[in-house]
Amino acid sequence: MLSNKVNLNKAKREGKNTTTYGSRYFSEPIPKFEIPESGMPPRTAYRLINDELNLDGNPNLNLASFVTTWMEPEADVLIAENNGKNFIDNDEYPQTEIIQNRVVNMLARLFNAPGDCDFVGTSTIGSSEAIMLGILAHKWAWRENRKKKGINTPETPNIIMGADVHVVWEKFAKYFDVELRMVPMEKNNYILTADKVKDNIDENTIAIGVILGTTFTGQIDEIEKINDLLEEVKETKGWDIPIHVDGASGGFVVPFIYPNFKWDFRLSHVRSINVSGHKYGLVYPGVGWLIFKDKKFISEDLIFHVNYLGGVMPTFNLNFSKGSSMILAQYYNLLRLGKGGYTQIMENLIEITNYLRNNLEETDVFELLGSDLKLPIIAIKIKEEFKDNFTVFDISRKLREKGWLVPAYTLPANDEETAVLRIVVKENFSRDMADLLMEDIYDVFSYYNKLKDEGNDDIKEDSINIF
């Protein structure tokens, strides 16, 4: 009897004659803070982690993130097959670099780089790295210009942007010691206008940051008007100030559905553009792109030449090692979809966005922000008369119980008292999903209306992070 038990215990310890769940690892605490002395079978480690991750939200119901949650199976295979390649090992993986450069070429042309310009570009981890690198190059150009003009007085460079920017822009100013001239938003005007730029500009302005699809409302800054202003400033004052366009989300949408809308290298002062491949470029996280209209805008000083990987390699990036898979996946999408395929997807997104916007408006509960929205992003606030029934935070919290991830947050200065819900419509969000979401939104209304009728209140949640 005893030896039977001993045998059973031994079998259990070794995980024999049972499923993974019958092994001891599932009845003991798992290591959380110290590396265990000995390991565990691969299937067990996989199951433990995979099962814990069930507590995460479902990426396919994540309407908060701009980032791609689905790719075709062939792309998944390509990604898996190339996970072991470090992109920085150009000498060892020269073809991967060649493919990166093909994507840079395709994007520069998509962004209408003029034929007589010598455009350059690079892949990055995302738009954040691309923005930091881009503005850094403009800071260097400003400094070199001053040197050329023989100006030696110590001056602090400044950068102008609207409060509608992503947090990375503020990070840039702080990390790289540039004075941040952030233009506050006004009630019902959530974009950077040329007038506001005019009030802030001077000879130490290294660049104007403009957004093609803001994180808060999905709107577009007055890019063309700001360009006109900069042409006038150059003519009257001699200051040649560049624009960096943050096309993180809009850069892969606008060219396909609004090809005549001018925001890119067709505008004389637009010198650099970033775009997130992992947003509407339709690739998983993390790939972004930075494109310069001409290599003359990047100081040689910023390019490091390393030789320890074999061959001399120029690098202009903030980090060193990174995966190759997402760069290859970007090329996959460009080959696989072509302009036609991207256009069809973006048209579907806009159609579904309009459908959902109309449905939300018909509830009579919500007010849509930015009626001129050009991107598949919806920002809504609750009408005054319903503010006693529920807040956007209540709706966000209740929808989360159903699995939907719809963030609620307050707008930037000077409209912090306005709280909104944002829905990012992505490739795998069908019209049918939009109907299901609407049904759940009506259920949330009923829940809170009933509570109110009964004289009860529910907890009001704080804002959740949208970045």
Closer by beta carbon to ligand PLP, 165 or else 197: 165
- Going by C-alpha positions, the residue among 375, 431, 424, 418 that lies closest to residue 404 is 424
Number of residues that bind ligand PLP (CB under 6 A): 14
Among positions 79, 133, 160, 168, the unique one binding ligand PLP when judged by CB under 6 A: 168
- Going by C-alpha positions, the residue among 316, 258, 323 that lies closest to residue 292 is 316
Helix (H, G, I), strand (E, B) or coil at 359: helix
Alpha helices in 287-411 (DSSP H): 325-362, 392-401
Closer by beta carbon to ligand PLP, 15 or else 286: 286
* CA distances (Å), origin 220, targets 378, 453, 467: 13, 41, 18
Among positions 103, 173, 243, 248, the unique one binding ligand PLP when judged by CB under 6 A: 248
d(CA 337, CA 52): 36
Among positions 97, 221, 246, 415, the unique one binding ligand PLP when judged by CB under 6 A: 246
Does position 219 interact with ligand PLP (CB under 6 A)? The reply is: no
Among positions 215, 219, 325, 353, the unique one binding ligand PLP when judged by CB under 6 A: 215
* CA distances (Å), origin 386, targets 361, 367, 389: 14, 11, 5
Does position 249 interact with ligand PLP (CB under 6 A)? The reply is: yes
Who's near 93: CB < 8 A, 6+ residues apart? 85, 86, 87, 324
Q: Is the separation of the CB atoms in 210 and 244 below 8 Å?
A: yes
The interface with ligand PLP within residues 279-338 (CB under 6 A) comprises 288
Q: Binding marks (x or -) toward ligand PLP, 2..41, rule CB under 6 A?
A: ----------------------------------------
The interface with ligand PLP within residues 33-92 (CB under 6 A) comprises 66
DSSP 327: H
Does position 422 interact with ligand PLP (CB under 6 A)? The reply is: no
Does position 220 interact with ligand PLP (CB under 6 A)? The reply is: no
Does position 205 interact with ligand PLP (CB under 6 A)? The reply is: no
Stretch that binds ligand PLP, among 81-89, 123-131, 343-351, 380-388 (CB under 6 A): 123-131
**Helices 127-148 and 167-175, axial angle in degrees (round to 10):** 40
List residues near ligand PLP by CB under 6 A. Answer: 66, 126-128, 166, 168, 211, 214-215, 246, 248-249, 276, 288
